[in-house]
Amino acid sequence: MSGRPTTSAPPSSIVSGQPDECDKPTIQNQEIMFVPHITDLVYFAHQARQISEAILPARLLGPSAVDTATLIGEGASFSALRRSIPPNPQKKWETWLGGLQLISRSGAGTEKRPRTVVFKSARIEFDKFGEPVPRDRGAMHSVMREFFALVHPPLIRHPNIVTLLGLGWGSNPYQPQYTLPTIVLEYADCGTLADIQDAVDLTAKERLSICADVAAGLNILHRCGIVHGDVKSENVLIFTHPEKRFLAKLGDFGFSRAGDTSSVAVRLGGTRPWIAPEVLQPILKADLHLTDVYSYGLLVWRVAANNANPFALVLPKNSDAQAFNDMVMDLKQRDVLIERGTLDHWYIKSFRDSTSRFALSERLSTEDEIQQCLQYLNLLGENSWNNLDDHKPVLRSLVVACPSNTLNGQVVDAILLKLAAYDPFLSKLATVFRHTLGKDPKSRDLSAVTNLFGGQSVNTISTPSDQTLLLETNYRFHNLSWQQIRDLRPNVQKFLVDTFSARATNEPPDYNQIMTLSALYINGYGVQINYHKACELLIRAARAKYFLAAAYCYRICHALEKEFWPDDNMIDLIYLSARAGSRTALEDLEFVAPERASAVKADLRNIRCGVGASFYDTPQMTNNMNYTMWMTIFDTPEYVLGNGRTPQEIRDWKVNRRGDSILHLAATSGKLAAMNTLLDCSPILEINLRNILQETLLLVACRAGQKAMVELLLARGADASLTTPSGESCLHWLISFDDADVETVGDALIAAGGNLYQLTTKDIAYSHFPAGFETDFQLPGSPLMWATHHNRPAIVKFFMSRAKDAGIGLHSVAHDKRSPNAVVWAAHFQHHECLQIIMDALLKENFHFGKGFQTTDVLVAATHSTDTFSMLLRHGALYKQRLRETFRYLIRVTRNVQYSTGIGGFGFSLLYFAVAEAHDVLVEYLLSDEIAAMLASEGWYHEVHESSAGRPNNVTGAYRASDINLACGEEKRTPLLEAVYWNRVALCKFLIGKGADIHAKAQNPYVQNQMSWSALHILAEGSTDDRCETARNLVALGVPIDSDDGEADNKTETPLMVAVQSNCFNLSSTLLSLGANINALRQGLGWTYVDTPTTILGLIIASAARNSAFRLRYLLFTCPQSEKVDFIVEPGRALTALHRAAMGCRGVYTRSPDHVEPMIIERKDYDFASNREIMYELLQRFNTPEQINRKSGVGGKTALHMAVESGNVECIRLLTEYGADWSIEDNYGKSVEHMFQPFEIDLNRHDQSRDVTYLMDALSQLGI
């Protein structure tokens, strides 16, 4: 027998009158040449987290929450699970500020938390290289398409597209040591459109509204360039709504396609019979969306037919699915659906067939009653004909009493057709079908149908032009940066490290990933820090001439391994990178080859536009001219106007492909005489001439740093206020001038109209060197921010002195998270001189008092960017010095500031935040003798009040030495415990050496107000299996192997339990070898709580978590002490593992840190599919007659007794198949057969009466 569970969720909606096989996917998308990678999935997961609202706490999005959700459906790509969310209780925080007590509240009434959510977990197996195995590549594409659509900003808040609530992480069903991203969606409280039509007889108004909603959803998809690909009732979700009874939203984008696909013609997927006829062949891109319109027409027909398959209404019955599909396709190919869609072809049959599903108001039993009803309908006035819904009760009673083959039945059918013809919904069908169901795609028009159904849906959002909505989704490999990987869970980091390492051995290697892998080794993300390994990888990539490694290899390797010196080959690569515009490569070249650096500087200014641009390289030039030829012309004034060119021709002449004029070339290259000659020849050659990109002569001269040319142009009246469409101005390019020239050039530009507050609106990079890192391009921002970015204190001082006030340091692009202000960017880059100039000015002018300046933002930016790899890119061997200078200043300048709500997170200290960000170098500096001496010399004294936020209130300053043992954040972890979570071995040793308390406890994340989790619990929760050394070290230092906390003990799971639940089986075996008790008794594990102390085996059974088979197989068969695992899992009641599984959700609760008391798990929230899988696994070990029929201490009941009591159908089936004895009596003389007798069940008890239905189902299914 297979161990795969059968689901307890109801089966997919079977459409009335339709052979089951017709609703199976028929065609998979064919663009499979691109083989996606695990990084593609994680990349979209990162995007989802960036753009979705964080309305659920992280704990409710973790594997323990996802895995204990209830399975409601399973497909080739996703498993769909439903989870009830506990209500958000109100919380109160107290803060002291200057002797004043401030109270803030959150929770009930302030934060909207859904009561139920849906998790969609990917079901994909990956190989060691991170690629999906061949059988799952199509599923991977479906998952990516779902992500593509759901994270597209215009769709996120559209009222007719299912809402993405966030991102979770669930167990990988194939590789349990890793987790995979899980989409978190809103739960459709009314089910699908198919579900609602099976249960509700919709009114015409409701049908119009639902169809209008679906059309609105399709419309926004198509405007975004997305084709849904599988429009059908099962993919339309129905929600209750305050403004109308039902709101429809489109969901399930697994077959969707983006309109910018690279293929000229594309094959679409879909589900029979709802696909368009042309789907069987490749379809032109321009026509893809029209397939949705066809499917939409069929959906409208199905809505009109009360969820019946319309093809079953117009075709003869056929039980063979393939023959039925062939007949359906024949109808479509003959283009007769519009004609067959008229009401007289199908409506009577539809109405009669659906009547059996709805309760009758009354049954007509006599001929007189029938005639009275007929007379009532015949006497209806014309004004009542359009009220079919009002007359449905009478009509349904008549169709039951009067079959169609009777005279009365024929009268009823005639009346029915007459009323349908005037129905507000049904009367529109002919027009709808004419605009949707034509074989010719060009005949389909969704907008016409939308207008017919009443226009837009409620609360339709306003949208910009369609061009800005388009989703660009050409398949390509998505590289994750080390910063993105830092934000992932530990076991996801480990997964990526493992796959990157495997791919590094491939030929040809992926140097993007090798570069990222070196960053992970340097920062210790997903692996222990290993500088030597990182340098080996970088050198390998640099020698292969990978551009990023070539530019940065020397500065990184030299900083980490002082004896490293580049060979001639590497110096050549540094030179080429510098000449191409890499600013950091030029800095390195000045150190390793100063003479070559001087030549590059001159080359950059005079030939490469000041930025390493290739605008004037020979391949970019036009008219068979090159740069040298133009320089020769410029040096000979009479040639400038030679060849008989008119001033108009000179103005319009484009010297290169980017559209520069002759004058722009002269301005960029500093040719003064040529510029004067050109400007003097005619007024048409104006001083503010722009190129195709709207750049002025003055702007390109400033970009190149041509001081003399700038002075010439300004003297002739150039306007410095003119900008490009992206906001680029002359003052932005003050960075191209030497410090000695800043004031002269800057004042001249300001006098000519230059705007200190001008903002660019997009990333800007002109260098030929690819802009791979933040050091290589400019983020949107002001001239001051650009100066800060380039670490130009002289320019920063100039701008601050010329601005109206210090607020210029806070000026940034509104509503752009990627556009920080200058003071934050200075902190981010650790440009301490720039930071000090701006921040001192802001503080001097009191901008920290209600004027938009928070020193918290500066501290967070400075801390967040101090990962070692990033600092090496920016500062090379000076990275530690830059960090010291920045934080020495920040700690000093913030000594009188109170951070009552925390730094970087609620209740975080600066030290804890640095540990949580995995920035070991910063942690080491904060705990250094230098900082200790500085704190002591200042003689700071802090009044301390108790706090509810973690750190003591009224404590001023960003850092104090006692923070080393301060419990921070909602889970109250100390810095050491946070380092343990990330398994940073060296950092843990360092913190312990500095006085960190190894015995500190953290908040049990599943129990309210219980500080009972030790370092071993935290280590196990990290969910990676490479933590054995750390576990040994912790136990050696005295951390108890099993939690032993007196009263809290029963509620607190042991570290071993956490490790097994996290699928960390190597760590579990290590804990067992160190003395962990495999049969320790506890009442809780993760979200699961039971009312009697139970072993780890019993708790895993009770949890009914997905993928529990891995944990059970470990405990029962592969762990070092599997033979010691007790069959009795609950000694207090003598319950065996089989009893516990058979009981299902009885005696099982869910616990939460938001609630004092555990909450009972309702049957609808319990996953009986996982419970069945668990029972199957248990029966592989415990399968003797004595074990299966063993009586418990609860009335002498066997596992089969308990399965019957719980209505646990699948466990009844399994136990029966494995030989359970139905005749065994319990202590009260009752056998299982007796339990099925109705008089043995008290029908007044809600729980038992509810179970009657399940028990009867069990009898029927088992044939008993």
Alpha helices in 482-528 (DSSP H): 482-486, 490-503, 511-523
Count how many Cα atoms sit within 13 Å of the Cα of residue 827 in the half-sphere of its side chain. 24
Encode pLDDT of 54-91 as tens digits.
577 778 888 888 888 888 887 767 888 898 887 776 55
Q: What is the pLDDT of residue 362?
A: 74
Name the nearest CA neighbour of 248 among 187, 151, 159. Answer: 159
Q: Do residues 1235 and 1256 make contact, with C-beta atoms less than 8 angstroms apart?
A: no
Q: What is the pLDDT of residue 946?
A: 42
Secondary structure element (H or E) that encloses residue 421, with its range: helix 407-421
Whole-structure pTM value: 0.86
Fill in the DSSP letter of residue 466.
H
Residue linked to tokens 């075996």: 1069
CA-CA distance, 1114 to 1061, in Å (whole number)? 11
For the chain, what is the radius of gyration of the CA atoms?
36
**b/e map of 174-190 (b: 16 or more CB within 10 Å)?**
ebbbbbbbbbbbbbbeb
1082-1085/1002-1003 β-pairing: unpaired
Q: What is the pLDDT of residue 794?
A: 97
263's tokens: 């293929």
685's tokens: 């050659």
Helices 343-355 and 388-401, axial angle in degrees (round to 10): 70
90's tokens: 């109100």
Q: What is the mean pLDDT of each run of 10 residues along the chain (1264 residues)?
A: 29 32 40 68 71 71 87 80 78 50 50 82 85 85 82 86 86 83 89 91 92 94 88 93 92 75 63 86 84 94 93 84 88 91 91 80 80 83 74 86 88 89 91 93 91 60 51 56 85 89 84 90 94 94 87 91 84 90 91 92 90 93 92 82 78 93 95 92 92 96 96 97 96 96 97 96 89 83 95 97 94 74 94 96 80 85 95 94 96 86 89 95 96 80 45 70 92 95 94 96 90 94 85 94 67 93 94 95 93 95 92 96 96 96 93 83 88 96 96 94 89 93 91 64 40 55 54
CA-CA distance, 163 to 240, in Å (whole number)? 14
Name the nearest CA neighbour of 354 among 406, 313, 415. Answer: 313
Residue linked to tokens 């009260």: 1228
Residue linked to tokens 């991102």: 167
CA-CA distance, 1225 to 1233, in Å (whole number)? 10
Q: What is the pLDDT of residue 647?
A: 87
Q: What is the pLDDT of residue 377?
A: 82
**b/e map of 88-122 (b: 16 or more CB within 10 Å)?**
beeeebebbeeeeeeeeeeeeeeeebbeebbbbbb
Q: Could you tell me which residues come within 8 angstroms of residue 1128 by beta carbon, excluding any fewer than 6 positions away?
A: 1095, 1134, 1135, 1136
Q: What is the pLDDT of residue 147?
A: 81
Domains, the chain, ordered by start: 31-186 (no CATH), 266-459 (no CATH), 486-606 (1.25.40.10), 614-765 (1.25.40.20), 855-969 (no CATH), 970-1077 (1.25.40.20), 1112-1120+1127-1264 (1.25.40.20)
Q: What is the mean pLDDT of the chain?
A: 85
Q: Which residues on neighbouring strands pair with residue 96, listed in sequence order?
A: 101
3's tokens: 């161990």
Encode pLDDT of 591-645 as tens digits.
999 999 999 999 998 899 999 999 999 999 998 999 999 999 998 867 777 666 7
CA-CA distance, 487 to 917, in Å (whole number)? 8
Cis peptide before 282 (omega within 30 of 0): no
826's tokens: 């200075």
